[in-house]
Structures are given as C-alpha cells and as structure tokens.
C-alpha cells in the first residue's frame, strides 16, 4: 500500500500544493512555516476523514476547515482515491490509534500513545492472543468476588468500592452469635406468646390496613372514574360550545324580532298594497265619476251661460212686472172710476138723448173726460203688460231649449231656481269629487311612501337575518333555536360537569377556566395510578369509619402489650439496623420470627460470600495458567533475535544488542553490549527516538505487507553520524518494498541523502506552499 499522488489546497494558509507525484523514498524539504506540518495534517484528515480526532492525533484541528484535495493510494494493483473511497481504516484493518503509533510520526514525536494497552492489543493481533480479554475477565472476576487483587493471591476486599465486604462478613458472624443468645433468652421469659398476640394483632391491622387502602384506592378510583367522565364530558361540551358559540340568546331575540318585523312589514305592505289597490280603484271610480260630472258640468255650464244671458231680461221682467203689478194695484180705483164715469156718461148721454140739454152735455162731457183718464191709464197698463208678455216670451223662447221654460213666469222662475240649486249642487259635488281625488292622490302617495319605507326596513331586516344565518350557518330561526337550545343544554351540562369536578377534585385556588382545566387534568393524572386499583371494591364512608375505629381499638390494645417488652424491642431494633447496614437491603426484625429469619439470612450471607470468593479464586487460577502459556509467545516479536533488536543494534552500531518487553506491565527494556538492562525511559533522547523508530518499523512490517511511513523530522535529536546510520536503515526498508514520506527542515538530512538525491534514489520535494 503506497501513496502514488496527492494534492492539498484551500487548507488554512496552505493555498495549493499542486499535484505531487511520489516515489519510494520522498524527502519533503522546506523552511519552518512553509507548510510541512500542515501537509501532514492534511494527509491525515484526507485519509481518516472524521476518525482523525484530536484524541488520537493531537492538535489535528488547529485549522478549522477541512482540506480540499485527494490522495491516490495503490493497494495490490488497485488505485484508491481518498477521501472519495471513504476511510483508509476500511481498507487496512487498523484503528486510527494504531496508524498513529506505527505509521505516522507527527511533530517529531516517536513515542507510543497509551503504550501498555497498545502493546497488548498489537501483540494480540499478531499472535492471536487474548491477553487484554483475559485481564479484563480477571478484573471482572475480581469485581464479582470482591477481591483485593485480580489474581489467586487476592483476599476479600474491604474497600469502599466493594462496600466494605470483609467488615460486613465479620460483623455478620458476630451478630449470628448475638442472635443465638437472644433466642435462648426470649424462650425463657415467655415473650413468644406475647409476640404471637402482637403478631395476630399486626396481621389483623395489616388486614384492616389493606381493606382501608382498598377502600381509599376504590374512593380514589371512583373519584378518578367520575372525574375522568366529568372532565371528558366537560372537554367535549366545551368543544361543542366552541362550535355553538355564535348561538346566543340576544342574537336569537334579535333574530326573532327581525323575523317578526319582516312578517309585520310584509303584512303591513300587503295591507297597504291592498289599501292602495282599493284607493286606486276608488280613485279610478271617482275619476270616472268626475269625468262624467265634469261633462255634465260642462253641459250645465252651457245652460248656465244661457241662463246668465237672460238674467238681465228676467231682472228687467221682474222690475217691469213689479211696475205692472204696482200700476195694476194703483189702477184698481181707476177701473171703478171708469165704470162709474162711463156709466154716468152713458146715463148723461142717454139723458142728453132723451132730454137734450146742456146739463146732460156737460155731465156727459165731464163724465167722458173723467172716463178718458182711466182709459188712458188702462191703455198704458195694457201696453206695459204687452211688453211684459213679449219679454216673457223672449225669455221663454231662450230657456225652452234647455228645458227651463214654463207657461208662467213663476213656473220659469221656479225652474230657474231649481236649475240654480242644481248648478250649485253639481258644482259642490264636483268640488267634493275634486277634493276626494286630491285626498286619494295624497293618501296613495303617502301609502306608497310607507310601502317604500317598509320595504327599505324589510331589506335591512332581511340583510341582518342573512348575516345571522351566515355567521351561524343555519337555514332559519327554528334551526337557530334548536342550536341555541342545544347550547343552553350543553352549558347546563358543563355547569353540572364542573360542579362534579369541583366536588371531587376541588379548585386548587384557581378560578380561570384554563387554569381549572389544567388543574383537573393534573389532578386526574395523579389519580390515574388508581384506575385499576381495588377492582370490585365499592367505596363506603360508613365502612371506612368502622374499620378506622376497629384499627384504633387494636392499636390501643397492642400499645398496652408492647409496653411489657419494650427493652426486648430495643435489642431487636438494634439488630435490625445492623442487619440493614450489613445486608444493604430492607430487613425487619421486630419479632422472634423475624429474628430467626435475620439469623438465617446472616448465615446465608456469610456462606454465600465465602462460596463466591472460593469459586472466583478457582476460576482466576485457571485464567492465570492460560495467561502464562499465552504470554510466552510475545518473545517472538521482542527478544534477542527479533527484528526490533536487529534494527536497534544496526542503527546504534551494536551499542545495544536486544530489545524485550516486560510481560506484566509491558515496559520496554534494552540490553547493552556489556549485558546491562536499561528501561527505555532511561535512554538518551536520540537513543529513545531510535528505539521507537525501530519498534515502529518492526511492528509495521509484521502488521502491514509493505506499506508507507509518514515521518515529521523523527531524528531531530540525532547527530550527523547517527543520522546517516538512520538514513541507511530507512533506505534498507525502502529497498524491501516500503515507502517513506520524510518531512524535514534540517539541512543535515538533505546533506546525508545528497548522493541518493543526485542518483534519483530519493525524490526531493520543496515545500513552499504557504503564501505569505
């Protein structure tokens, strides 16, 4: 598994490394702060993706962003591109920590992280051993047996972590002796009979307590059931009330009043419409009558004109007639005078004829003269009468066509009088008709205005009704009333539910609806544990009082008896406290029976601990035998003829001859050429780095078939001579098929590999990838 090519860009200050093609031995050379360490970090984060945590690779997250780029790795002829292919641990079965401890050296740190557990895990992987698992099992057995050590020399532990088991066993054995002594003493004082009575009372009290508990549970269950039914009913009612919220009494009254107003308006409109039709009929009838009367009036007017035309003649006729009548009255004496004078004239004439003489002539002349005056007056009267008759004839002739003439003036005047009265009557009738017509027109107009106002109000009423219907989504008032009745019924039920809940659960000093609902919900949640309690038991206050009274009687009797052996009880209570402390469980010791049970429990506890520890020690001895056999296999990888020893001897020019690992605590030890054995921690800094490079190289060869090493100045503490020796070792493993990516800022490294660089055996790469 070799890295053939990589490119890293946009990683903190490292702008772009460009495409870097790699060989077998690659020397990355550059001054400090030119991107060597960032390049290694970038390679790690691209290879391990999210598994490159700061717990494994320290300060790997010193740059916040994730690098962009790729790494192409060749593995048995296949080209794998990271990070597209995933994580390198998916292709090589090593954990990130194993990669860090063997194949990747960052910041010149050749040390191995968590060294003891790492060696155990690596040697297990190499040999198939289960050393770590065996130790884990032994530790677990130590915990099970509560021993001081995870080996066969372990004893019962008295640590706090093991709950002071040794002390508890010792105390239990002491208390077993105390209990045996107390049992003998109790039998001698007859305490067993008193205890029997107390036990009977306790059983009765327990029975009563159970019954009371069942009663109380039943009461709480009934409270829960009734409360739950009431709360569910209340919630359901509140949901329905929310749906029925638009239905209100004042709105229903308004709806009803609006319907009534619409009905009354319709009735009034219908009434007024009927009235207006009647009045319009009357108006038309009157109009027809008026037309006819107007036509009659026109005819009468024509007749009246003619009457008016003869009125002067009638007036003159009346005056002339009055004058004639007056003259007739005045000439009544003249007629008599005329008769007398004519009579006397005739007599005088007869006398003159018979006895002519002057006297008769004188008398006849006088009587003749006297007779002429009445005659003249008569003539004059007749003449006026003739004029009067002629005038009357003219009047009669004028009035005859219009039916107002008569044979006499009185008759004519009577007809004229009647005509005049008729005219006045017709005019009065026509005036009344005109007045009635105007009145009807005004009344019709008034009614029309009333109808218009009523229709306007009706439209307003209908609009208000539609608004109510739209809001409440009902068809009519009946449906609204049904919903309102339903709401009132639900409100009544809600009040009943709330009253039940207040009676059962109280109010908790809350008054608001939401607060009360929440309080009842919470209270019922607390009571829910009782919903299946005391099934079949019915709560009764009377039964509860009876049981409580009975319990009180038994308590009083028991208290009197218990006074007789209170000292005995103190001893039992002390044993009970000790037993609870030793056994770490609830133990009761108030009676001789319970004392016997505690004695038996202590005996079982001591025997159980002894048996458990004995069994655990037996199993641990078995695992110790297995462990000894398995750990002997580790010498294959550490020891005189191991690769680690050969590498270390070669790199130190034979100063150190062998490297081994101490089996128990996994310490690394080295042998000098003069047979001294040193702990690796006591080596010089350069020798320490060389040792751990050799360990990495050896383990790497065993774990991975020809892979790669990433090294960040691993020999920073070496002098030039030792550095050249170390470079030869690296060249040797490169010759065996390994790949080296060596990062350095030391000119000595470049100088030590100068010939190899010029010969093309080492690929020199200048790292100047950070833009200042």
For 117-139, the pLDDT digits (tens) are 544 444 444 444 455 566 777 67
Mean residue pLDDT of the chain comes to 78
For residue 28, the SS3 value is strand
CATH number where 418 lies? 1.10.287
pLDDT for residue 518: 86
Contact indicator for 334, 463 with CB cutoff of 8 Å: no
**Same-domain pairing of 341 and 358:** yes
Contact indicator for 169, 157 with CB cutoff of 8 Å: no
Query: Rounded to an integer, what distance in angstroms lies between the CA atom of residue 104 and that of residue 456?
Result: 98
Maximum separation of any 2 CA atoms in the chain, in Å: 249
DSSP, residue by residue, 74-95: EETTEEEEETTT--GGGTS---
Among the listed residues 183, 156, 163, 146, the one whose alpha carbon sits nearest the alpha carbon of residue 598: 183
Contact indicator for 112, 692 with CB cutoff of 8 Å: yes
Query: Rounded to an integer, what distance in angstroms lies between the CA atom of residue 411 and that of residue 404?
Result: 9
Neighbours of 44 (CB within 10 A): 23
Query: Rounded to an integer, what distance in angstroms lies between the CA atom of residue 514 and that of residue 519?
Result: 9
Residue labelled with tokens 């010149």: 108
Among the listed residues 100, 111, 124, 98, the one whose alpha carbon sits nearest the alpha carbon of residue 44: 100
Is residue 649 in some structural domain?
Answer: yes
For 385-415, the pLDDT digits (tens) are 677 667 666 666 666 666 665 666 666 667 6
Query: Rounded to an integer, what distance in angstroms lies between the CA atom of residue 683 and that of residue 697?
Result: 19
**553: pLDDT strictly greater than 70:** yes
Is residue 692 in some structural domain?
Answer: yes
pTM of the model: 0.38
For residue 357, CA distances in Å to 342, 366, 369 come to 19, 14, 18
**115: pLDDT strictly greater than 50:** no
Is residue 641 in some structural domain?
Answer: yes
Query: Rounded to an integer, what distance in angstroms lies between the CA atom of residue 93 and that of residue 79?
Result: 18
Is residue 511 in some structural domain?
Answer: no
**Same-domain pairing of 298 and 333:** yes
Burial class, 472, CB count within 10 angstroms (exposed 0-12 / middle 13-18 / buried 19+): buried
Answer with the one of 412, 432, 447 that is the final residue of a domain: 447
- More confident site: 453 or 36: 453
CATH number where 715 lies? 3.40.50
**Same-domain pairing of 650 and 772:** no
Is residue 122 in some structural domain?
Answer: no
- More confident site: 748 or 564: 748
**Same-domain pairing of 297 and 337:** yes
pLDDT for residue 371: 62
- More confident site: 326 or 712: 712
**Same-domain pairing of 693 and 728:** no
pLDDT grade for 741, boundaries at 50, 70 and 90: very high
Task: Locate 755 and state its tokens.
Answer: 């010939």
Answer with the one of 703, 735, 754 that is the final residue of a domain: 703
Secondary structure of 166-221 in HEC code, one letter for each residue: HHHHHHHHHHHHHHHHHHHHHHHCCHHHHHHHHHHHHHHHHHHHHHHHHHHHHHHH
Contact indicator for 306, 396 with CB cutoff of 8 Å: no
**Same-domain pairing of 649 and 750:** no
Q: What's the domain count of the chain? A: 3
**Same-domain pairing of 653 and 698:** yes
For residue 593, the SS3 value is helix
Task: Locate 369 and state its tokens.
Answer: 């003269």
For 60-79, the pLDDT digits (tens) are 777 878 889 999 999 888 89
For residue 260, CA distances in Å to 255, 467, 476, 480 come to 9, 16, 13, 15
**Same-domain pairing of 693 and 719:** no
pLDDT grade for 116, boundaries at 50, 70 and 90: very low
**Same-domain pairing of 422 and 376:** yes
Query: Rounded to an integer, what distance in angstroms lies between the CA atom of residue 162 and that of residue 153?
Result: 17
Is residue 459 in some structural domain?
Answer: no
For residue 57, the SS3 value is coil
pLDDT for residue 396: 66
For 408-429, the pLDDT digits (tens) are 666 666 766 776 777 777 777 7
Among the listed residues 583, 575, 616, the one whose alpha carbon sits nearest the alpha carbon of residue 602: 583
- More confident site: 322 or 460: 460
Query: Rounded to an integer, what distance in angstroms lies between the CA atom of residue 530 and that of residue 672?
Result: 81
Query: Rounded to an integer, what distance in angstroms lies between the CA atom of residue 121 and that of residue 404?
Result: 160
Mean pLDDT of 659-684: 79
Residue labelled with tokens 């002539």: 361
Consecutive H or E run containing 741? strand 739-744
Contact indicator for 741, 37 with CB cutoff of 8 Å: no
Query: Rounded to an integer, what distance in angstroms lies between the CA atom of residue 473 and that of residue 463?
Result: 14
**Same-domain pairing of 290 and 369:** yes
For 149-164, the pLDDT digits (tens) are 777 777 777 787 777 8
pLDDT for residue 763: 93
Task: State which residues form the domain around 48.
Answer: 1-103+711-772
For 652-671, the pLDDT digits (tens) are 778 888 888 776 666 788 88
CATH number where 668 lies? 3.40.50.300
Answer with the one of 404, 422, 447 that is the final residue of a domain: 447
- Comparing 22-36, 63-77, 189-203, 449-463, the range with the smallest average pLDDT is 189-203
Mean pLDDT of 308-312: 64
Rg (Cα) of the chain, in Å, rounded? 74
Please enumerate in sequence order all residues whose Cβ is within 8 A of that of 440, keeping only pairs 6 or more positions apart, or say none. Answer: 279, 282, 283, 286
Angle in degrees, CA 269, 274, 278, rounded to 5: 145
**Same-domain pairing of 765 and 643:** no
Is residue 356 in some structural domain?
Answer: yes
**Same-domain pairing of 356 and 261:** yes
pLDDT for residue 771: 57
Is residue 204 in some structural domain?
Answer: no
Edge-to-edge order in the sheet of strand 25-29: 104-105, 708-712, 739-744, 25-29, 763-766
């Amino acid at each position: 598994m070799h890295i053939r090519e990589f490119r890293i860009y946009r990683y903190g200050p490292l702008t772009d490394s460009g495409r870097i093609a790699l060989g077998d031995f690659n020397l990355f050379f550059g001054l400090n702060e030119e991107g060597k360490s960032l390049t290694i970090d970038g390679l790690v984060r691209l290879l391990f993706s999210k598994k490159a945590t700061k717990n494994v690779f320290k300060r790997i997250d010193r740059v916040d962003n994730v690098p962009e780029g790729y790494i192409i790795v060749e593995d048995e002829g296949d080209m794998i591109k990271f990070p597209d292919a995933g994580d390198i641990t998916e292709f090589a079965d090593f954990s990130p920590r194993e990669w860090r401890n063997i194949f990747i050296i960052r910041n010149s740190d050749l040390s191995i992280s968590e060294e003891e557990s790492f060696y155990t895990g690596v040697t297990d992987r190499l040999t198939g051993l289960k050393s770590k698992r065996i130790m884990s099992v032994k530790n677990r057995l130590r915990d099970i047996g509560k021993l001081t050590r995870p080996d066969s020399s372990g004893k019962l532990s008295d640590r706090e972590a093991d709950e002071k088991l040794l002390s508890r066993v010792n105390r239990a054995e002491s208390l077993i002796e105390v209990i045996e002594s107390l049992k003998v003493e109790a039998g001698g004082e007859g305490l067993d009979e008193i205890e029997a009575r107390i036990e009977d009372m306790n059983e009765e009290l327990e029975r009563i307590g159970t019954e009371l508990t069942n009663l109380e549970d039943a009461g709480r269950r009934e409270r829960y059931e009734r409360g739950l039914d009431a709360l569910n009913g209340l919630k359901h009612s509140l949901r329905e009330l929310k749906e029925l919220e638009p239905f209100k009494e004042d709105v229903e009254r308004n709806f009803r009043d609006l319907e009534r107003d619409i009905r009354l308006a319709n009735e009034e409109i219908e009434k007024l419409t009927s009235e207006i039709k009647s009045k319009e009929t009357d108006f038309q009838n009157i109009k027809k009558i008026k037309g006819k009367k107007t036509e009659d009036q026109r005819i009468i007017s024509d007749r009246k004109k003619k009457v008016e035309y003869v009125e002067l003649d009638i007036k003159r006729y009346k005056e002339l007639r009055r004058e004639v009548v007056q003259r007739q009255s005045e000439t009544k004496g003249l007629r008599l005078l005329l008769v007398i004078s004519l009579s006397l004239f005739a007599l005088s004439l007869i006398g003159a004829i018979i006895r002519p003489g002057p006297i008769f002539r004188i008398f006849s002349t006088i009587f003749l003269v006297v007779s002429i005056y009445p005659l003249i007056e008569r003539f004059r009267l007749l003449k006026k009468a003739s004029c009067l008759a002629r005038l009357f004839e003219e009047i009669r002739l004028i009035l005859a066509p219009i039916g107002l003439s008569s044979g006499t003036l009185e008759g004519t005047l009577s007809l004229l009088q009647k005509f005049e009265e008729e005219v006045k009557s017709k005019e009065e009738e026509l005036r009344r008709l005109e007045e009635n017509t105007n009145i009807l027109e005004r009344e019709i107009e008034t009614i029309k205005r009333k109808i218009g106002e009523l229709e306007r109000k009706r439209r307003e009423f209908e609009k208000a009704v539609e608004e109510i219907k739209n809001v409440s989504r009902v068809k009519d008032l009946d449906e609204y009333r049904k919903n309102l009745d339903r709401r009132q019924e639900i409100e009544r039920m809600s009040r009943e539910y709330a009253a039940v809940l207040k009676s059962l659960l109280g109010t908790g000093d809350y008054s608001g609806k939401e607060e009360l609902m929440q309080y009842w919900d919470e209270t019922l949640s607390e009571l829910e544990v009782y919903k299946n309690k005391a099934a079949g038991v019915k709560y009764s206050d009377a039964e509860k009082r009876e049981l409580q009274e009975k319990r009180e009687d038994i308590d009083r009797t028991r208290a009197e008896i218990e006074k007789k052996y209170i000292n005995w009880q103190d001893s039992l209570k002390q044993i009970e406290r000790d037993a609870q402390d030793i056994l770490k469980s609830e133990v009761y010791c108030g009676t001789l029976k319970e004392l016997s049970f505690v004695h038996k429990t202590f005996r079982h506890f001591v025997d159980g601990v002894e048996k458990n520890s004995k069994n655990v020690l037996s199993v641990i001895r078995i695992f110790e035998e297995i462990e000894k056999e398995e750990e002997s296999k580790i010498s294959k990888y550490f020891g005189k003829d191991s690769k680690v020893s050969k590498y270390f001897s070669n790199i130190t020019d034979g100063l150190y001859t062998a490297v081994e690992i101490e089996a128990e605590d996994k310490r690394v030890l080295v042998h000098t050429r003069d047979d001294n054995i040193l702990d690796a921690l006591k080596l010089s800094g350069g020798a320490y780095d060389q040792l751990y490079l050799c360990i990495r190289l050896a383990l790497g060869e065993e774990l991975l078939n020809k892979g790669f090493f990433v090294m960040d100045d691993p020999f920073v503490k070496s002098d030039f001579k030792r550095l050249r020796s170390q470079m030869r070792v690296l060249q040797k493993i490169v010759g065996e098929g390994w790949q080296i990516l060596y990062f350095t800022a030391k000119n000595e490294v470049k100088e030590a590999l100068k010939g190899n660089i010029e010969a093309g055996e080492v690929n020199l790469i200048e790292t100047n990838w950070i833009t200042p």
